[in-house]
Structure 1
Amino acid sequence: MRRSLMRQVVTVFGGSGFIGRQVVKRLAAQGWIVRAAVRDPVDAGFLKPMGEPGQVIPIAANITKPDQVRAALAGADAVVNLVGILFEKGKASFDAIHRQGAANVAQAAREAGVKRLAHMSALGADKNSPSAYARSKAQGEEAVLSAFPGAAIFRPSVVFGPDDDFFNRFAKLARISPVLPVFTGDGFKPVHTENGYGIDWFGSGGPTFQPVYVADVAEALVKGVTDPATKGKVFELGGPRRYTLKEILELILKVTELTSCLVPLPFGVAKIQAAFFGLLPKPPLTSDQVKLLQVDNVVRGGKPGLVELGIVPQAAESVLPTYLHRYSL
């Protein structure tokens, strides 16, 4: 298989990112010539050793610029689009990146005669969502399938791994803060127990997530350009277990052996905090993210996932200790 694929070219937009570097490594191992289309090719030089000399090639490309996208796809056999943002800044809006940028890639791929396209979306993509992020992801899916009907769409839940921006963020916070917030929409309720009346502070424990390991997501994306059975399908990617936000924070504290106290906060407080955090250059929480948090981020069913792709999902409990231990005191 390596010999048959050696002359095939795949362009990976966002190839130097958290998920992108995992995809690049796997495609190179299968013998593809990999163009890592990134904003700064110099900074992406670390990708080159993932393949043989000249096999992994960082190139400059901005998906909001159609001419650069076309140049990156010239002569390519396949394309993977992983570019996404978690908050808007300047011209980098959700619409520009998730909808128009995705459309640019799909249209250029069709015009270039590219055979396969794997597109990264997100669980919760919904045109009717109150979140601009989720709406833009759904609009991006529509734009991709309209221009390239055979594209494979992948919707992961929260992705975890050594360089993630979710578990690492809470672990860093736990190391410096005596408290960790659990945003809840049904807490602070009076309850009757066998010992009398009390307060259910956390309610159901906050939003629910289904964290999925980065290596499993990368493997799924690779199948999106190598397995003909994925053409034109939408895959929902989640790990083997669902966790409330409270359970996730408890797991982080257990792995790191830190002693922060969990404090319930109503979403009203989260909205106020987000209004202030949104003024920072890299906000830890935005108003749009608060809207996202009010909807569970889990696989809904009815669409294929990791199991249908032949991938056995790895649990967070087995992976988190391999990299969160660095936060232990």
Structure 2
Amino acid sequence: VAKAAVEGVEGRAAPGIYELGGPDVNSFRELMQQMLGVIRRRRLVINIPFVLAGPMAMLIEWAHMLSLGIVPRMITRDQVTSLREDNVVSEGARGFADLGITPVSLEAVLPDYLWRFRPSGQYSAIKESAKNLRT
């Protein structure tokens, strides 16, 4: 996406709207499961109907406000609204290919963004390699 922005700022992209999406299309559940795999955590992922998610988000926002930020906002009403619509590139839309850019898959970059959320953070690799040293 940064490369696409540079193309636009430097005037190398044709004017107009570009829909920038990676090479894969995933469900929200698939994204959550992939993220949990990368950070090496096991969590239950459940589907919550929108009719329940909206009021739940409102209660969470109120709890966040009334606690002066102590209660974290796990989800907001804006996020629930956003999740109602698919976020995929439209058929025939201009995208990365029109800018001469090959998108990178999520699997290739996700570990670099999320390693710090692993149980041992930056020390995960050291800790894992040290397991083989014990006799």
Q: How many angstroms apart in 2 are the aligned matches of 1:242 and 1:263? A: 20
Match of 1:223 in 2: 7
Task: State the alpha-carbon separation in 1 of the partners of residues 83 and 35 from structure 2.
Answer: 19
Q: How large is the Cα RMSD of the aligned pairs?
A: 1.8
Call closer, same or farther: CA 1:248–1:229 in 2, change over 3 Å.
closer
The separation in 2 between residues aligned to 1:246 and 1:278, in whole angstroms, is 23
Distance 1:324-1:229 versus aligned 2 partners, 3 A rule? closer
Q: CA deviation at 1:271?
A: 0.8
* 2:26 paired residue among 224, 243, 256: 243
The whole-number CA distance in structure 2 between the counterparts of 1:256 and 1:229 is 36
Displacement of 1:229 in angstroms is 4.3
Q: What is the CA–CA distance in structure 2 between the aligned matches of 1:327 and 1:244, rounded to whole Å?
A: 22
> Is 2:98 aligned against 1:308?
yes
Instruction: Tell me which protein shows more strand as a share of its residues.
Output: 1
- Say whether the 8 Å CA contact 1:223–1:230 is kept in structure 2: no
Correspondence 1:164-313 to 2 at 5 A: 217-231=1-15, 233-279=16-62, 280=64, 283-313=73-103
Q: List runs of 5+ in structure 1 lacking aligned partners.
A: 1-216
Unaligned runs of 5+ residues in structure 2 are 120-135
Counterpart CA distance in 1 for 2:106 and 2:38 is 11
**Which residue pairs with 1:322 in the alignment?**
112
1:294 deviates by: 0.9
CA–CA distance in 1 between the matches of 2:9 and 2:116?
A: 36
Q: Distance in 1 between matches of 2:95 and 2:109?
A: 20
Q: Which has the higher contact order (CA 8 A, sep 6+)?
A: 2
For 2:128, the equivalent position in structure 1 comes to none
Question: What is the TM-score when the length of structure 1 is the normalising length?
Answer: 0.32
Change (3 A) 1:219 1:318: same
The alignment-based identity, stated in percent, is 37
Q: Distance in 1 between matches of 2:46 and 2:74?
A: 18
Change over 3 Å in CA distance of 1:258–1:284 after alignment to 2: closer
2:13–2:99: 8 Å Cα contact kept in structure 1? no
Q: Which letter does structure 2 place at the counterpart of 1:276? A: L
SS of the counterpart of 2:92?
Answer: coil
- Cα offset, 1:228, TM superposition: 4.4
| Helix, strand or coil at the partner of 2:113 | helix
- Give the TM-score normalised by structure 2: 0.73
Q: Whole-Å Cα distance in 2 between the matches of residues 227 and 304 of structure 1? A: 16
- Deviation, 1:249, is 1.0
Secondary structure in structure 2 of the residue aligned to 1:230: coil
Deviations 1:43-71 (A, max 9, x none): xxxxxxxxxxxxxxxxxxxxxxxxxxxxx
Q: Which moved more, 1:274-283 or 1:299-308?
A: 274-283
In 1, distance between residues paired with 2:7 and 2:116?
33
